[in-house]
Structure 1
Amino acid sequence: MRGSYQTKAIAIIITVVLITALLIVLQAKNAKPGTIAILDRHGEELFSLQETKQKQTPIRFQEIPHTIITSTLAAEDKNFFLHQGIDWLATLRAMKENITSGEVVSGASTITQQLMRNILGTTRERSITNKITEMFLATITEHVLTKDQILEQYLNSIFYGYNTYGIAEASSWYFDTDFRQLDWNQATFLAVIPQNTSQFNPYTNFDAVRKRQAWLVKELLEENTLTQEEADFILQNPPTLSSPLQKITAPHFVHFVMNQLETALGSNFWHGHDVKVTTTLDENMYQESKKIINQQIKSLDTKNVHNAGGLVLDNITGEILSYVGNNDYFDNQNDGAVDMVQALRQPGSAMKPFIYLGAILKGWGTGTIIYDIPSRFQTAQGTPYTPLNYDLDYHGPVTVREALANSFNIPAVKTLDFLGINEAKRILQEVGISTLTHDEDYYGLSLALGSGEVSLYELTNAYRVLEQQGLYTSPVSIRNIRIDGEEKSWESNNGRPVWHKQKEKREEATAMITDILSDNYARLPEFGESSSLEFSFPVAAKTGTSRNFHDNWTLGYSTRYTVGVWVGNSEGSAMNQVSGITGAGPIFHELMILLHKQIINNSFTNIDNIPTVTICLPSGLLPNEYCTHKSNERFPEGHTPREVDTWYTSDGLTLPPELNFWHSKFATSTLSQTALKIVSPQNNDVFIFDLEIPDDQENIPCKIFQSNINNTQIRLNGEIIKSCTLPKATGIYELEVTGIDPQGQTITDRVRFTVS
């Protein structure tokens, strides 16, 4: 009886193996080569691939160098020679997370399991059911094939991206080298790619591949496979890639689209199928955009500027019309393959509109007054923070309109201080900025000046949200997908209103920001006439420059399009005195002109729904009979000024005490006739240099007010100095000024400050 059961069990196992083998053979025999074509919105081909499996003669195990085998095993399955198809320890470690999530989020797949997945052509979503199937087949395979045979099959079939299957094709594609000649540097580099061919794409995410390679090198070093000298060489010498040979238009955009498709449908979604993807890109617009960008970069060559990125969005649909990830994808010397539309960089002042947006949502208006005077704030560590303006000057009481239009730093920091860092982060997240993941202490008030890192992709779309009155939708890159002639549904644009229950407030607030950013007159003091932000049609725009000219930006929108431009160097080196207005600005200007050549651009009309209020300057209050300077500004409903100005009297303008040392074009100070005072720095100031000011232009302001004082002397740390010029070196300093008043008495003022 027992023998009968054993016979039946053996028969069942043999039957399963034979059926599985038959299915594999039939599938391989009947499978047709897959093709994929990425098209622009008009059907013009951007890129295409045809799947031609076994393009090269399969390599035998004996031919494969130990550098490849060792690197692959260390990266994918270090216990390969110890298990029978399933690494139970790794599986158990992943099991809890997988069961909790209801899907496979941590694979722990052995090389044998991966081989089963490759042979079966599994393109379905990762699931626990699929995982169990792969484990079952892997166990059978381990009893049919030797370990060497499994490795041979694996290294002949594993996908390395770009339609390359197997180590021989990957070696030829990425390094133009025979696989037998791969050194440790190249072998470890290739070994990490199959783990995630989208994330570890050498042409678009080279740094990510190198980071993963560094992990693998460390593993091999700990196993004594590599010597310290060999490991150091690999870490210090990135391998040189060969250029892709296929014709490709808008390569950064094509990679971006392919990553989206592979993330949603699986990395092998097109294998065995005829796939056509119609994107939103306009090839003609892309080519014109690239031409404009290249001309500007060429003109800035002597300024150490080598890279730029540009993005054009349709305001209503969110469709990507032009996506220039870098000015030259194939420029290896200047890291042209790096996608600067997606790279994270500091935006400088380009972040400011969203800080003021938050304040307007809390009741501020375009005429709210902010004191642009020497100011100190407390950092999370309890030390004072003293921001400086780009022009190293103070502008006294300014309106929100003046402060934002001219990109004054001190008012922006004061606005963030009023709003709160966490509230500012919330608003930025609502408009689509997802990269500010640290807590408020990490960013501090310098967030208003662009200390957080963002991508051109997300920031450009955030500006589009301003034009769309706070209605967020994600950018759209794909119009439709056809697989074997049948259209596949593609959800790519889920909209949600920002500040859900505050429709009127968000429409008011975004309209006021748009009104400021499109006010050419308001920005005249800092940007002058005929700047790259001025057009013959309404455009709302803002520039940004990160510290020491590492990045510069110009972003903005008309009623039809939103444009974002970044200029700098992919590897992060500083430009030579190139700001947003001189670097990215001209590109932005030319792109806007190009987009509106044959289009009648309408005016921003939303602002017309917000009534104007006449205020008195510089107080921001309602004018009295003596007010001589007035301005029409807009305020949210219920937040218009109610008090009447008291600064103007029949005797002229009298400023509040905190403005006594600001010499305004509007008034004279009401200080007593005899005075000696250090205006700047103030006592206990700590100077942390501003992100937007280059080191060679950054100075600590030293201002001394004196009236009816003789024999003035200035001392720094006890030493007499001829002029009020302060050091920038790190340290603690004491500044003292003395003088003689008309009565012969010595007057002294003294402050201590820190440079850090």
Structure 2
Amino acid sequence: METYKAQPRQQNRRLKQRTGGKVLLAAFATVSTILFLAFIGYFFYLLGALPKVDRLADYRPPILSQVYGADGALVGEFYLERRTVVPVDKMPKRLIQAFVSAEDSNFYQHKGIDYVGIARAAFKNLISMRKKEGASTITQQVAKSMLLTPEKKFSRKLKEAILAKRMEERLSKDEILYIYLNQIYLGAGAYGVQLAAETYFGKEVENLNLAEMAMLAGLPKAPNSYSPIKHLDRAKERQAYVLERMVKEGYITQAEAQYAKATPIVIQPLKKVNAEQSAYFLEQVRQQLVQKYGEERLYKDGLKIYTTMNGEMQKAAYTSVVNGLKAVDKRQGFRGAAKYLQEAEVEPFCKKVEDEIDDLSLKEGNVYQGVVTGVDPAKRELTVQVGERTGTVPRKNMEWAGKLELIPRFGKPEAKRAIGLGAVLELQVKVPDQNRTGAVFALDQAPEAQAALIALDPLTGGVRAMVGGYDFKKSQFNRAMQAKRNPGSAFKPVIYAAALDNGMTTASVIDDSQVEYESGAEKAWKPKNYDNVYRGPVTMREALTESINVVSVKILEQIGVGTAIEYAKKIGITSPLASNLTLALGSSSVTPIELTSAYAVFASGGYRTTPYFVTKVLDRDGNVLEETAEPKIPVFSRMSSAGEGDENTAPGENGEGAAPKPAEAGLNSAAGGAFPVIPPETAFIMTNLMQSVVTSGTGGRARAVGRPVAGKTGTTNDMKDAWFVGYVPQLVAGVWVGYDQERSLGAGGSGGQAAAPIWTDFMQRALAGLPVKSFPTPGNVTFALIDPRTGHLAREGTPGAVQECFIAGTEPTSYGAEPQADAGGAP
């Protein structure tokens, strides 16, 4: 009975098991059907949502816009991706074969997806238990790069496969290769094979040899890891792999591969554009172009931008500013190490520095941050490490810093004038390293003061060079264009020119004696001379030559502040000016470009031009988008006594030296035109006066230029601002030196000591190779021998008599024995 009773229970259990299995099977079939339908739906959704392949037929990738100087030399670039597009027929056949062998050996056989390659990669990855090999074809890489985002998702891989199939249906293999080889990133900021060939080997792509082609073809896998600049050994290993792949595919013989492996690789990139030295100029151009054409067009459309920059002058400006600021800064003493590292921090810091160095060897003259890793107190020598390179700082290369205490231990020393292990220093390369050792450095220091330099062609207004600060990477504020600072005595020529056009002459005598003016406040204003010396009666020439403050104030008082302000506006000063007598001492802030362009009026013979930077812009197809014709300013036919003939000489219509009419000035919209604003005679006399500043006065350092120079120094109260603005017939330049947050420049911070050396060094470099020219003399200028004590004519043999220049009809007509002591005009 028990057995009989148990039988139905077993049958029920089996029945339940069969029923449960059917339910599970039905559920699985239902879920599978749903998933399949969902996948089909998603697949068709993807088909509808995928980007169109047709647009690849007109491949127009982002290409770099290039900036050229006035001589046609490349001076800068703007880009999101640094690329130059070249057609397939310009690419060597073996270069294409090298990339195909390394990246997609079945490229010419498959239709977008390499199923054999997928199986091979899957097998290798399974054996190694990691992703050792990918299976994306060149076509898939183009699809991902051009049509998709780089996200690592299944959906992206599915889209990539679908698009690759579509591309193969619509594009030829050559068209796909054209896109791929121009689009691919190959390291060192280079996109496409043309830029890579230039970046690594300094060659056009069609001039590469087999060894170089194979090296480029090895880069796509890991451009930074296989960079021939930084890792030549790894690059050669990868090159050997590519060559062996080419042998296997039948593109080259084994002998050719061996020859290519043995071919020396010479890393000789084309001379890079030094964006650092032109950064402020290029930023000004960039801002103008973005405002006019937009960022999208500037960074992606391959514009050709021609500018007024003279490349050699720009280099000279940058070098002079950097060297001059360092000289100013070092006079203030050594400020100590930038920071101190513990021993464990040295290696990570050096690795970070090395990652930022793109050169095989450190460049002579360049400044790098390095760490002190050894100290020899006996020799007074440091061992230092810059990135992965080692070198020394000998005693003589630290002497400017005075007597330093050298401490052979880690940790920040208590003494300010001390250097210990782990100190991070600014180091200038004197002797480059060889195989990363043996470099010799000099202790350096990043200046805290700033400077600006701007140089113009006085006849056109074209900006030839501009530096807006010490380091653009640290501060993009362009002090040449934006900084409004008090010009001090550098403003005096504006006052003196206004005086010449309002009844005074170079022989006018003014009493240099103390004076007091009611200011409406509790204290009266008493202008003082810089040297606290008062000379009594002096001529205008002596007053400007010696930069006498009191006389300048008295001149302004005589002609009237309002008259001077209107005159300043006429010659290009646009900033608001103080309507009081302190204006004579440069109490109103102006920008360096304003003051320099005002001086250009004197240099050009009385013509005002608007400074400009861009002369022509072309689009990627060579169409002219804009073009600026340079203004034409006649040069007077009569030259000064030391002058020579000038090919630009143009006599006036009413006789020798006559001023042209405004309509003759050649106005143009971009440059602002050129038109006469003051008489040429006034411009010449001001030039003559400022030549005296250089030959006999505060601007004496500029004599080192070794040619006719006119200019004026400027120093403000407490030496917070130092200026020198000056010119030769071909070039006018202004230099300002100071701290962004106003404070004294300290010892040696006057215009003659801080700014004039920078100006002089720049002019010596910038004018090298240019002919020496004298300032042309208008026909309406006469010369007379005068007695500077009285301002009257002098007889032959009169002690101290000088030859003075006048506008015809204003020269003295009488001889006098007694000196004048009033503040009047011409005697």
The equivalent of 2:730 in structure 1 is: 560
User: For residue 43 of structure 1, what is the aligned residue in structure 2?
Assistant: 73
- The answer for the alignment partner of 2:372 in structure 1 is none
**Counterpart for residue 517 of structure 1:** 690
Q: Structure 2: which amino acid aligns with 1:489?
A: E
* Alignment CA distance shift 1:302-1:628 (3 Å): closer
**d(CA) in 2 for partners of 1:277, 1:521:** 38
- Kindly state the Cα deviation for residue 646 of structure 1 after the two structures are TM-superposed: 4.9
- The answer to which of 619-628 and 305-314 deviates more is 619-628
**Is the contact between residue 303 and residue 618 of structure 2 (CA under 8 Å) also seen in structure 1?**
yes
The amino acid of 1:473's aligned partner reads T
Quote the residue 1:363 is aligned against: 503
Q: Deviations over 1:139-159 (max 9, x none)?
A: xxxxxxxxxxxxxxxxxxxxx
1:40 offset after TM fit, Å?
2.9
2:534 partner letter? Y
Q: Which residue of 2 aligns with 1:592?
A: 763
Aligned match of 1:475? 611
Closer, same or farther: CA 522–328 of 1 in aligned 2, 3 Å: closer
Corresponding residue number in structure 2 for 1:453: 589
8 Å Cα contact 1:309/1:565 also seen in 2:
yes
**d(CA) in 1 for partners of 2:148 and 2:603?**
51
SS in 2 for 1:489: strand
Query: Within the alignment, does 1:404 sit opposite 2:544 as a pair?
Result: yes
- Residue 581 of structure 1 pairs with residue 752 of structure 2: yes
793, 801, 807: which is aligned to 1:630? 801
* AA of the residue aligned to 1:591: F
Partner of 2:154: none
Structure 2 vs 1, CA of residues 588 and 548 (structure 1 numbering), >3 Å: closer, same or farther? same
CA distance in 1, matches of 2:694, 2:312: 34
Distance 1:272 1:340 in 2: 29
Select which of 307, 320, 326 maps to 2:463. 320
Q: 1:454 and 1:503, CA in 2 relative to 1: closer, same or farther beyond 3 A?
A: closer
State the secondary structure of the residue aligned to 2:752. Answer: coil
Q: 1:283 aligns with which of 311, 314, 323?
A: 311
- The 1-side partners of 2:600 and 2:310 are apart by 19
1:253 correspondence with 2:281: yes
Structure 1 residue 658: Cα displacement:
10
CA separation in 1, counterparts of 2:288 and 2:74?
Answer: 20
Give 1:411's aligned amino acid. V
**Deviation readout 1:116-138 (Å, 9 max, x if unpaired):** xxxxxxxxxxxxxxxxxxxxxxx
1:27 & 1:422 partners in 2: Cα distance? 69
Identity of aligned residues (%): 26
* CA 1:411–1:270: 2 relative to 1, 3 Å: same
CA distance in 2, matches of 1:38, 1:535: 30
Shift of 1:471: 0.6
Q: CA deviation at 1:400?
A: 0.8
- For the pair 1:351 / 2:491, whether they are aligned, the reply is yes
SS at match of 1:315: coil
Q: Secondary structure at the match of 2:511?
A: strand
* C-alpha distance 477-28 of structure 1, shift in aligned 2 (>3 A): farther
1:431 aligned onto 2:601: no
Aligned-partner Cα distance in 1 for 2:587–2:694 = 28
Within 2, Cα distance between the matches of 1:546 and 1:28?
63
Pairing 1:618–2:648 present: no
Q: Is the 8 A contact 1:554 1:581 kept in 2?
A: yes
Aligned equivalents of 2:146, 2:594: Cα separation in 1:
38
Could you tell me which residue of structure 2 aligns to residue 300 of structure 1? 328
Deviation per CA, 1:151-175, whole angstroms, max 9, x where unpaired?
A: xxxxxxxxxxxxxxxxxxxxxxxxx
Residues 604-638 of structure 1: CA distance to partner in whole angstroms, max 9, x if unpaired?
13167511223333221244899655333222233
Residue 53 of structure 1: CA displacement? 11
Amino acid in structure 2 at the alignment position of 1:507: P
Indicate the residue corresponding to 1:463 in structure 2.
Answer: 599
Q: CA offset at residue 359 of structure 1?
A: 0.6
**CA distance in structure 2 between the aligned counterparts of 1:278 and 1:657, rounded to whole angstroms:** 55
Partner amino acid for 2:805? R
1:546 maps to 2:682: no
Contact 2:468–2:479 under 8 Å retained in 1: yes
Q: Is the Cα contact below 8 Å between 1:365 and 1:633 reproduced in 2?
A: no
- Go from structure 1 to structure 2 and tell me whether the alpha carbon gap of 1:299 and 1:521 turns closer, same or farther (over 3 Å shift): closer
For the 8 Å contact 1:328–1:337, the answer to whether it is kept is no
Residue identity opposite 1:38 in structure 2: V
Q: Which amino acid aligns with 2:753?
A: T
Letter in 2 for 1:633: E
Query: In 1, distance between residues paired with 2:52 and 2:660?
Result: 54
* Alignment deviations for residues 630-688 of structure 1 (CA, whole Å, 9 cap, x no partner): 3332222332234542527xxxxxx76999xxxxxxxxxxxxxxxxxxxxxxxxxxxxx
Larger mean CA deviation between 40-49 and 268-277 belongs to 268-277
* Contact 1:307 1:569 (C-alpha < 8 Å) held by counterparts: yes
- Paired with 2:677 and 2:449, the residues of 1 have a C-alpha distance of 44
Q: How far 1:306 moved relative to its partner?
A: 2.5
Q: 1:388 and 2:528 equivalent?
A: yes
Aligned to 1:213: none
Offset, 1:398: 0.8
DSSP-derived class of the 1:576 partner: coil
Show CA shifts across 1:485-538 (max 9, x none): 2112234867899996996961111100100111268634x56xx633454210
1:624 and 1:645 in contact (8 A); partners too: no
Q: Structure 1 498/367 Cα, relative in aligned 2: closer, same or farther at 3 Å? A: farther
CA RMSD of aligned residues (A): 4.0
Letter in 2 for 1:635: F
Match of 1:309 among 439, 452, 456: 452
Query: How far did 1:389 drift?
Result: 0.5
1:486 aligns with 623
Q: Secondary structure at the match of 2:708?
A: coil
The Cα shift of 1:337 comes to: 4.9
Q: Determine if contact 1:473/1:495 at 8 Å carries over to the other structure.
A: no
SS of alignment partner, residue 640 of structure 1? coil
Q: Please state how far the C-alpha of 1:539 moved relative to its aligned partner.
A: 0.5
In the superposition, relative to structure 1, how do residues 472 and 557 fare at CA in structure 2: closer, same or farther (>3 Å)? same
Alignment of 1:4-83 (within 5 A): 32-35=60-63, 36-41=65-70, 42-50=72-80
Cα distance in structure 2, aligned partners of 1:446 and 1:396: 21
- Select 1:372's aligned residue among 504, 512, 515: 512
Q: What's the offset of the Cα at 1:358?
A: 0.5
Question: TM-score, normalised on structure 2?
Answer: 0.47
2:451–2:469 contact (8 Å) kept in structure 1? yes
Q: Is the 8 A contact 2:509 2:821 kept in 1?
A: no
Q: State the AA in 2 paired with 1:46.
A: G
Task: Report the Cα offset of residue 55 of structure 1.
Answer: 10
Contact 1:32-1:272 at 8 Å conserved across structures? no
The corresponding residue for 1:537 is 707
Q: Which residue type is aligned with residue 620 of structure 1?
A: G
Alpha-carbon distance in structure 1 between the residues aligned to 2:598 and 2:679? 14
Q: Which has the larger radius of gyration?
A: 2
Aligned 8 A contact 2:490 2:724 in 1:
yes
Instruction: Identify the residue that residue 472 of structure 2 maps to in structure 1.
Output: 329
Length-normalised TM-score, structure 1: 0.52
Q: For the residues of structure 2 that align with 1:358 and 1:463, how far apart are their CA atoms?
A: 13
Structure 1 658/589 Cα, relative in aligned 2: closer, same or farther at 3 Å?
closer
| Amino acid corresponding to residue 368 of structure 1 in structure 2 | S
Change in CA separation of 1:617 and 1:309 when aligned onto 2, cut-off 3 Å: closer
Counterpart CA distance in 1 for 2:589 and 2:458 is 24
Aligned pair in 2 of structure 1 residues 336, 557: CA closer, same or farther (>3 Å)?
A: same
